């Protein structure tokens, strides 16, 4: 009875310790996020974060809502629903556009840590909590290394991990992919008694449905690789056919449901996902991706990045072999996903004839999930027990929390040595000191630099916006030219997106802008071909204003008709 009383009294201490451990992991993830975003802000890659024509979409939507415009958006096949929800929620804090982008980047990077933590908890629930947190932090450390090796402003390079910090380069789909791996590992792991737990199945269905609704890339990045890995696990008799069918069925039904949910949103979808597939151009696609790889290998940071991802894939192969030997279902699933997905996605991207580097993001992120189990493997003699909850004798543990019990909870089985009782507080104290020092250092270094970046706008963009605001007129420009100035205007409708023939260009833009039928000026840049204004629409140039990379060509009051 006394042992039970001690156990009950120690339980609050166990909860407090678990809370401190989780909080410590989150603080370290925040430190890493601050380091990564500060690096991006200080490099040319900051253009992708703040001014890229794709990345500024959430700012355009927020500006349109704030200006009271009707909402009639022309989107791509990707709807960016989770990304927009995060940005609009952060924008409600009343921060500037750049400050909101910075905060959004930090949130995205912390979300990836939490997704890794979710994977670690799902695939090795019976390992100590510190081991699971260490696994998530190891994967986050790899993310940090990749981001620190990315520095250029080129959106079409193999600097793919840093795209996670942006608002429209599929950050939600990456997080969904990682969460899917964790949930599938949880479902496939054998349990006792042998009955199905429907909560993970429902969660998997919801993730698949919501992801397919917002981004069809989920099919290629998650659904297909998961189906192949699960089928392989069943053929190797590591996973049961029933659980494998349950996983594939749940993902399949979820995807069908998500695609059905896209039907009411069809007026906003201007192009279907299938239109991106051009199998007849597979040779061109192969050459394109080979060129990207060659260009990445030509620089030292790029070569280090490629070597690092290949090393992590090799680690996943080693984990896969080890887990297969010990019949560890979840380990086989996570590691198999880590090395099979890069092969599946790369081959698929080539065979479908695609030509965008961002489609290869899973080549970097999928292997990182396998790192979540490394600390548990290094510190456990029986890999079979990591996920299934077995001990070496084959008996089942009663519950996953057994592994998290504090020393006082285990006094029923025997008291701890006095030396360990003395050492534990010292380790905790040392950990707290190191953690506090790391966080404070990151804040001292990062926050002033991020604050300075948030309060400054690119001088060329500011020049255009000041001119447009002072003119009081409507102007036009092409997609890759005007979207950055448009995003920072108080009223984005003052700049209308057109193509080279001066016709309305409905792509990632509010079609309510096209209510303006005439414009008085055009914003052009040296990177764009000159506007091919039809003879019937030509007007006399009255003024030319240079704003760095932009040139404002003024045609007088409402002189340029905007085509349909």
pLDDT the model gives residue 431: 66
Answer yes or no: are the C-beta atoms of 230 and 333 closer than 8 Å. Answer: yes
Q: What is the pLDDT along the chain (564 residues), one digit of tens a residue?
A: 555 555 554 566 678 778 888 888 998 999 999 999 999 999 999 999 999 999 999 999 999 999 999 999 999 999 999 999 999 999 999 999 999 999 999 999 999 999 999 999 998 887 888 889 999 999 999 999 999 999 999 999 999 999 999 999 999 999 999 999 999 999 988 764 456 678 999 999 999 999 999 999 999 999 999 999 999 999 999 999 999 999 999 999 999 999 999 999 999 999 887 778 899 999 999 999 999 999 999 999 999 999 999 999 999 999 999 999 988 899 999 999 999 999 999 999 999 999 999 999 999 999 999 999 888 777 655 555 554 444 333 333 333 333 444 443 343 334 445 444 444 556 666 666 777 777 787 778 888 999 999 999 999 999 999 999 999 999 999 999 999 999 999 999 999 999 988 899 999 999 999 998 899 999 998 777 766 666 666 667 888 999 999 999 998 876 788 888
Pair 83, 58: CB distance under 8 Å: yes
In terms of Cα–Cα distance, which of 369, 352, 189, 391 is closest to 273?
352
Report pLDDT for 414.
Answer: 42
pTM beyond 0.75: the answer is yes
Among candidate residues 25, 52, 28, the one with its CA nearest the CA of residue 155: 52
Q: In this structure, what are the phi and psi dihedrals at residue 197, rounded to the nearest 5 degrees?
A: -95, 115
Chain Cα centroid distance, residue 419: 44
Nearest to 450 by CA among 86, 104, 111: 104
- At 544 the three-state DSSP class reads strand
Residues 6+ apart with CB under 8 A from 298: none
Q: What is the model's pLDDT at position 410?
A: 41
Q: Are 217 and 78 in contact (CB under 8 A)?
A: yes
CB 446 within 8 A of CB 30: no
pLDDT of residue 42: 95
pLDDT value of position 385: 53
pLDDT on residue 546: 93
Please, how many CA atoms are within 13 Å of residue 155, restricted to the half-sphere of its CB?
17
Can you give the C-alpha Rg of the chain in angstroms?
27
Contacts of 19 (CB under 8 A, 6+ apart): none
Gap between the Cα atoms of 81 and 103, Å rounded: 18
pLDDT at 382: 56
Two tokens at 295? 């260009």
Q: Please give the Cα distance from 73 to 507 (Å, whole number).
A: 8
Angle (CA) 183-185-190 rounded to 5° is 120
What pLDDT, on the 0 to 100 scale, is given for residue 411?
39
CB contact at 8 A, 71 and 512: yes
The reported pLDDT for the residue numbered 195 is 66
414 sits in the region (left: phi over 0; alpha: psi -120 to 50; else beta) called left
For residue 327, give every residue at least 6 positions away whose Cβ sits within 8 Å of its Cβ, in sequence order, or none. Answer: 238, 384
In whole angstroms, give the CA distance from residue 137 to residue 532: 53
Peptide bond into 13 cis (omega under 30): no
């Amino acid at each position: 009875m006394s042992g039970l009383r001690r156990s009950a009294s120690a339980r609050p201490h166990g909860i407090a310790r678990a809370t401190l451990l989780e909080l410590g992991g989150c603080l370290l993830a925040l430190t890493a996020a601050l380091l990564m975003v500060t690096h991006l802000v200080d490099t040319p890659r900051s253009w992708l974060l703040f001014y890229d024509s794709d990345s500024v979409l959430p700012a355009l939507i927020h500006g349109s809502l704030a200006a009271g415009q009707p909402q009639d958006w022309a989107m791509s096949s990707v709807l960016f629903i989770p990304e927009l929800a995060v940005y609009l929620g952060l924008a409600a804090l009343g921060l500037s556009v750049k400050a909101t982008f910075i905060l959004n980047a930090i949130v995205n990077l912390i979300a990836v840590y939490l997704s890794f933590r979710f994977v670690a908890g799902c695939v090795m629930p019976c390992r100590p909590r510190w081991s699971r947190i260490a696994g998530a932090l190891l994967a986050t450390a790899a993310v940090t290394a990749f981001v620190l090796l990315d520095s250029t402003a080129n959106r079409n390079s193999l600097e793919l991990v840093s795209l996670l910090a942006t608002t429209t380069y599929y950050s939600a789909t990456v997080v969904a992919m990682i969460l899917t791996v964790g949930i599938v590992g949880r479902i496939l792991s054998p349990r006792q008694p042998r009955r199905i737990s429907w909560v993970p199945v429902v969660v998997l269905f919801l993730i698949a449905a919501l992801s397919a609704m917002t981004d069809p890339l989920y099919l290629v990045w998650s659904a297909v690789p998961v189906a192949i890995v699960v089928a392989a696990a069943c053929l190797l008799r590591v996973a049961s056919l029933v659980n494998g069918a349950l996983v594939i069925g749940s993902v399949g039904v979820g995807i069908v449901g998500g695609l059905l949910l896209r039907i009411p949103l069809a007026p906003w979808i201007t192009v279907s996902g299938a239109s991106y597939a051009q199998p007849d151009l597979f040779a061109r696609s192969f050459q394109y991706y080979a060129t990207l790889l060659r260009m990445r290998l030509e620089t030292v940071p790029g070569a280090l990045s490629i070597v690092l991802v290949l090393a992590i894939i090799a680690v996943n192969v080693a984990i896969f072999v080890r887990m297969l030997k010990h019949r560890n279902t979840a380990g086989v699933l996570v590691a198999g996903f880590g090395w099979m997905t890069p092969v599946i996605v790369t081959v698929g991207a080539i065979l479908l004839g695609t030509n965008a580097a961002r489609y290869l993001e899973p080549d970097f992120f999928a292997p990182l999930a396998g790192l979540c189990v490394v600390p548990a493997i290094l510190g456990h003699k029986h890999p079979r027990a990591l996920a299934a909850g077995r001990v070496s004798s084959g008996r089942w543990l009663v519950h996953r929390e057994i592994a998290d019990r504090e020393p006082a909870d285990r006094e029923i089985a025997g008291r701890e040595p006095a030396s360990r009782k003395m050492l534990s507080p010292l380790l905790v104290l040392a950990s707290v000191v190191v953690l506090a020092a790391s966080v404070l250092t990151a804040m001292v270094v990062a926050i002033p630099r991020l604050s300075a970046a948030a309060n400054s706008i690119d001088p060329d963009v500011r020049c255009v916006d000041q001119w447009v605001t002072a003119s009081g007129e409507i102007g036009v420009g092409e997609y890759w030219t005007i979207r950055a100035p448009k995003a920072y205007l108080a009223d984005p409708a003052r700049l209308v997106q057109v193509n080279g023939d001066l016709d309305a260009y409905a792509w990632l833009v509010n079609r309510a802008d096209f209510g303006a039928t005439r414009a008085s000026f055009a914003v052009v840049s040296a990177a764009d071909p000159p506007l091919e204004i039809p003879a019937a629409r030509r007007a006399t140039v009255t003024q030319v204003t240079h704003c760095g990379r932009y040139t404002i060509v003024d045609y007088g009051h409402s002189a340029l008709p905007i085509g349909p």
